Amino acid sequence: MRPRIAHDCDVLVVGGGIVGLSTAYAITRAAPGTRVTVLEKEPGPARHQTGRNSGVIHSGIYYRPGSLKARYAVRGAAEMVKFCAEYGVAHAVTGKLIVATAREELPRLHALVQRGRENGIPVRELGAAQIAEYEPEVRGLAAIHVGTTGICDYTGVARQLAAASGAEIRYGARVVQVDRRAGLGVAVRTARGDVVRGRVLVNCAGLRCDEVARLTGDDPGMRIVPFRGEYYELARPELVRGLVYPVPDPAFPFLGVHLTRGIDGGVHIGPNAVPALAREGYGWGVVRPRELAGTLGWPGSWRIARRHWRYGAGELRRSVSKGAFTQAVRRLLPAVEEGDLVAAPAGVRAQAVLRDGTLVDDFLIREGERAVHVLNAPSPAATASLPIGREVARRALGALGEA
């Protein structure tokens, strides 16, 4: 006979970023009465990836048709606009330009047009002279205009999700131990010594999702390799009207340095992508030896370095040299000067890397016994957070039915 255990909640979500909060929101809507507790180690929501990005509502044009990214981004963009309107979160549907500045980029630009059509996204092809209709200071050989792209305040979205979910949100609750026993559910101990018991655990820990998976006793089959994205604020925001992106290199899951007029009216430039020396390494001065050793000890990290060292060298150069960063921006915006770039807060991307050095390029969700792990939630995770939350919630509720 199984002992009776008093559970504090039915579903215990680790991580109070936008994916964790969207999951809590989706669970309480799909199954009213389900008790959900969210544990977040920071003193408030959205302190890492959610609150440290460009604030763009992505259309879904970049992503392989049929992939989770494509499906969730297209659906999620429309849902995010509707959510923001319903809850009074600052947002705007602005459209954006993707600009080719070199001849070798033209085939990739045309491929994006086809991909957009396959994903059901309306695009307009522009010649060099037509770019000025949207962005008078931007130069390029050709461009496409994507009308469904927008911007919003994702920190505001996270706050509204937390409030609307009805979940218990515990801030300052860093998970240090997970005890999962047959028939007894999942017990989590926090750094403060509190123990929280749930029937099912959902791991939305972002930069630490692989660590939480291992604490649970599940092998994630990947490691988070943190990449820092550095931003500048444009001192002359009048140079940019909206959103301007380069043509991305399909070999990498990064979109390149872009120009983004945010919801506050300021223009952000970035991010690049350089290795971070800590999971939350928002500057070169933040070094955590244990975390760095974990990254260097993962075979996939060295395989990435060997495969992509030329690309990485360029990113590092632009990180340490403001002049080099400015030169990269001038490809899109020739009028910009080095003095126009003012340092802004950086972000860190939680990039899942497989043992063979593969950069996981899609959402990665795996299940264990009474556990669901979100192990890769790259851009456009914020855009797609509502449909992602429903998918994670579906799996969690399935596990709850079996618990």
Residues 273 and 236 in one domain: yes
User: At 253, is the pLDDT very low, low, confident or very high (cuts 50, 70, 90)?
Assistant: low
Q: Is residue 211 situated within a structural domain?
A: yes
Residues 28 and 162 in one domain: yes
State mean pLDDT over 379-393.
97
The alpha carbon of 278 is separated from its chain's Cα centroid by a whole number of angstroms, namely 17
Render pLDDT for 217-247 as a digit per residue (tens, 0 to 9).
Answer: 999 999 999 999 999 999 999 999 999 999 9
User: At 1, is the pLDDT very low, low, confident or very high (cuts 50, 70, 90)?
Assistant: very low
Q: Is residue 56 situated within a structural domain?
A: no
In degrees, rounded to 5, the angle at the alpha carbon of residue 127 between the alpha carbons of residues 147 and 311 is: 80
Residues 229 and 326 in one domain: yes
Render pLDDT for 143-153 as a digit per residue (tens, 0 to 9).
Answer: 999 999 999 99
Which domain range does residue 352 map to?
Answer: 223-359
CA 27 to CA 23: how far, in whole Å? Answer: 6
Q: Is residue 117 situated within a structural domain?
A: yes
The pLDDT value recorded for residue 6 is: 84
Number of domains in the chain: 3
Residues 211 and 274 in one domain: no
State mean pLDDT over 76-86.
98
State mean pLDDT over 156-180.
97
Render pLDDT for 350-382 as a digit per residue (tens, 0 to 9).
Answer: 999 999 999 998 999 999 999 999 999 988 999
Using omega within 30 degrees of 0 as the cis cutoff, is the peptide bond preceding 246 cis? no
Residues 339 and 283 in one domain: yes
Secondary structure element (H or E) that encloses residue 319, with its range: helix 309-320
Strand duo 91-93 + 150-152: pairing: antiparallel
pLDDT at 2 over 80: no
Residues 197 and 229 in one domain: no
pLDDT at 310 over 90: no
Render pLDDT for 179-195 as a digit per residue (tens, 0 to 9).
Answer: 998 678 999 999 999 99
Secondary structure element (H or E) that encloses residue 343, with its range: strand 341-353
Residues 172 and 318 in one domain: no
Q: Is residue 322 situated within a structural domain?
A: yes
The CATH number that applies at residue 235 is 3.30.9
Q: Which two tokens stand for residue 91?
A: 């947002």
The pLDDT value recorded for residue 216 is: 97
Angstrom CA distances, 74 to 119, 268, 364, 386, stand at 8, 24, 18, 11
pLDDT at 312 over 80: yes
Q: Is residue 391 situated within a structural domain?
A: yes
State mean pLDDT over 268-281.
95
Residues 263 and 317 in one domain: yes
Mean predicted lDDT score pLDDT of the chain:
95
Residues 246 and 322 in one domain: yes
State mean pLDDT over 314-323.
93
The pLDDT value recorded for residue 182 is: 66
State mean pLDDT over 256-264.
93
Q: Is residue 287 situated within a structural domain?
A: yes
In this structure, are residues 211 and 294 in contact, taking their beta carbons and an 8 Å threshold? no
In degrees, rounded to 5, the angle at the alpha carbon of residue 55 between the alpha carbons of residues 70 and 223 is: 60
Residues 352 and 366 in one domain: no
Q: Is residue 183 situated within a structural domain?
A: yes
